[in-house]
Amino acid sequence: MELIFEISKPGRSAVSITASDVPAVNIEDTIGNKYLRSDLDLPEVAEIDLIRHYTNLSRRNFGVDLGFYPLGSCTMKYNPKVNENVAAFPGFTGLHPYADAEFAQGNLQLMYEMQKYLCGIFGMAEFTLQPAAGAHGELTGVMMIKKYFEKKGQKRRVILIPDAAHGTNPASGALCGFDTVELRSNSEGGVDIEHLQSLMTEDVAALMLTNPNTLGLFERNIEKVAAIVHGKDGLLYGDGANANAFLGKTRPGDLGFDVIQLNLHKTFSTPHGGGGPGSGPVGVGKTLVDFLPVPRIVKTGDKYNWSEKFPDTIGRMRSFYGNFNVVVKAYTYIRSLGAEGLKHATEMAVLNANYIKEKLKPYFDLPYDRVCMHECVFSGNRQVVQSGVHTSDIAKRLIDFGYHPPTIYFPLIVHEAIMIEPTETESKETLDAFCEAMIAIAAEAKENPDGVKNAPLTTPVSRLDEVLAARKPDVCWKRTN
């Protein structure tokens, strides 16, 4: 495909501007010539060519509105269009971020109610909507944990993190100056209780636990885990990125979590990908309420306001009030589904993941063979041994079948991991068609391994140097003629 610069022809334009009927002003007399540029190399194209160029470009992209997108641990949920409609209301988009609370009552009310809904759904005492993403929420949570122990006059140096955890967990701990220590998983994919007991000392500030974890498995011993951590006066941090697996079923607050971050862009259907914007609200139990970021929304009588009067706060985590527009979309999702709807979404997400797990089990290794939650994790080990076809080859071949590949090589504790998360919105027909594609690829891997190793065959470019593209992205076009 040609670049927009390459289709440029001097003199072409996508707009026609009528002749000016005001007297010309001499630039030199006003702002000066030094701001005049003669070297601006902008493409010159007609409107139709411009439209075709960008429409064609957009068709090279893959999104959740285009096809099945089973990326695990990321929850590429369908984004209901009503969310977008509501988020576009002028009252939400037109408000100046510096407007006085008096003029922002409706917006404050929405945030206040959103916090209350999240408290109810997750069993926490209070929520903040400030953090801009899951990882940012983790940082917020760990900063509160740090301040909590400082206030108690205790110097705890360690945060425990299971080996199945998302990489952002140790990063958040380390950013706050903690030593992060790895906690082993047991043979059924849960916390190794004996290992936890041996690591849990009074030097441990918190255990950061993802539940269900990144294997898509619910921690069966969660109450025991909480008791061990609390037994040494440590805190239990919940990575709630996978909260779409238990809405209306259980509440982290009831399970013993002291603090939890959510990912609205995973659990509550707000758009996700391309770097955001996301939203990572953080909920806390009573022990950590005083440390929440400011400003906080307070309600006095019928009036909403901002307040900074919380002396133990960790301070501000985000300019303005977080990604407000994302919150509006998640709020709309919660209001349009209601309690029963959210629970149903969770049930369907779990059912769909188990359906795929059972259908593909004969064809791929399943290292943890038990009922899964919202996602299932296979291993491509059998295919490697059989014919040298790797998980990355299977993922590339899926593109030829019209699917976005699942998450691969994560979690790290599964060799050649293939992590599939269908989400609740996919029909049985879609799941069946995807499984048939996976089964066909498993057969190809046996009979024609080179075909799989050379995939994808249907895309404009095939195998890129992904490391080079990520480390040294070359996105600038320079004129060569």
Ligand X SMILES: *Cc1c(COP(=O)(O)O)cnc(C)c1O
Residue ranges in contact with ligand X by CB under 6 A = 73-74, 133-135, 166, 168, 210, 214, 239, 241, 263, 278, 280
Q: How far is CA 465 from CA 399, 417, 461, 462, 468, in A?
A: 17, 21, 11, 10, 5
Instruction: Compute the distance between CA of residue 219 and CA of residue 164 in angstroms, rounded to an integer.
Output: 12
Token pair 């002396």 is found at: 311
Going by C-alpha positions, the residue among 380, 385, 377 that lies closest to residue 407 is: 377
Shortest distance, position 167 Cβ to ligand X, whole Å:
8
Shortest distance, position 422 Cβ to ligand X, whole Å:
16
Shortest distance, position 276 Cβ to ligand X, whole Å:
8
Residue 351 sits at the vertex; the CA angle it makes with 349 and 353, to the nearest 5 degrees, is 70
Going by C-alpha positions, the residue among 13, 35, 58, 107 that lies closest to residue 304 is: 107
Comparison of 234 and 280: residue with beta carbon closer to ligand X: 280
Comparison of 107 and 168: residue with beta carbon closer to ligand X: 168
Q: Tell me the one-letter amino acid at 353.
A: A
Q: How far is CA 457 from CA 6, 387, 397, 444, 461, in A?
A: 26, 20, 8, 14, 8
Shortest distance, position 278 Cβ to ligand X, whole Å:
5
Comparison of 120 and 167: residue with beta carbon closer to ligand X: 167
Shortest distance, position 4 Cβ to ligand X, whole Å:
31
Q: Is 391 helix (H, G, I), strand (E, B) or coil?
A: helix
Measured over the CA atoms of residue 194, residue 198, residue 201 and residue 205, the dihedral's sign is negative
| Pair of tokens at residue 453 | 């190793």
Q: Tell me the one-letter amino acid at 395.
A: A
Shortest distance, position 418 Cβ to ligand X, whole Å:
16
Going by C-alpha positions, the residue among 168, 180, 183 that lies closest to residue 131 is: 168
With beta carbons less than 8 A apart as the criterion, state whether 156 and 204 touch.
yes
| Pair of tokens at residue 329 | 């979309």
Shortest distance, position 224 Cβ to ligand X, whole Å:
21
Shortest distance, position 337 Cβ to ligand X, whole Å:
21
**Residue 238 φ/ψ, nearest 5 degrees:** -110, 120
Shortest distance, position 465 Cβ to ligand X, whole Å:
24
Comparison of 73 and 83: residue with beta carbon closer to ligand X: 73
Comparison of 107 and 213: residue with beta carbon closer to ligand X: 213
Comparison of 122 and 363: residue with beta carbon closer to ligand X: 122
Comparison of 239 and 393: residue with beta carbon closer to ligand X: 239
Shortest distance, position 268 Cβ to ligand X, whole Å:
12
Comparison of 209 and 442: residue with beta carbon closer to ligand X: 209
Comparison of 241 and 327: residue with beta carbon closer to ligand X: 241
With beta carbons less than 8 A apart as the criterion, state whether 146 and 175 touch.
no
Comparison of 214 and 379: residue with beta carbon closer to ligand X: 214
Comparison of 210 and 313: residue with beta carbon closer to ligand X: 210
| Pair of tokens at residue 194 | 């004996």
With beta carbons less than 8 A apart as the criterion, state whether 281 and 377 touch.
no
With beta carbons less than 8 A apart as the criterion, state whether 404 and 440 touch.
no
Exposure of 130 by Cβ count < 10 A (0-12 exposed, 13-18 middle, 19+ buried)? buried
The number of helix segments (H) and strand segments (E) in the chain equals 16, 12
Comparison of 208 and 342: residue with beta carbon closer to ligand X: 208
Shortest distance, position 239 Cβ to ligand X, whole Å:
5
Shortest distance, position 225 Cβ to ligand X, whole Å:
17
Q: Is 188 helix (H, G, I), strand (E, B) or coil?
A: coil
Residue nearest to ligand X (CB): 134
Instruction: Compute the distance between CA of residue 409 and CA of residue 407 in angstroms, rounded to an integer.
Output: 7
Instruction: Compute the distance between CA of residue 268 and CA of residue 333 in angstroms, rounded to an integer.
Output: 6
Instruction: Compute the distance between CA of residue 264 and CA of residue 327 in angstroms, rounded to an integer.
Output: 8
